Amino acid sequence: MDRDRPQPPQQQQAPEHAAAPRPPLIHSTELLRGHPLVEISHNGVLYRLQATRQGKLILTK
């Protein structure tokens, strides 16, 4: 009978949706360095990052 036979230990399966590693966190103060507006060059394109009076960020080309 199978009931008398020792059962192999059950393997735990990894969750289907394993958490992805978080990207690095950079605070806006590090980018802005006290300025309300900075320019960022990315792949040869110039972008502007601006902090508003309401504390929001605007990224434009």
Dist CA 36 CA 47 (whole Å): 14
Amino acid 1: pLDDT: 53
Amino acid 11: pLDDT: 65
Digits of tens for pLDDT over the chain (61 positions)?
556 676 666 666 656 778 899 999 999 999 999 999 999 999 999 999 999 999 999 999 9
pTM: 0.64
Amino acid 9: pLDDT: 66
What the chain holds in terms of domains, given with CATH numbers, is 28-61 (2.10.70.10)
| Tokens linked to 16 | 């289907």
CB within 8 Å of 47: residues ≥ 6 apart: 39, 40, 41, 59, 60, 61
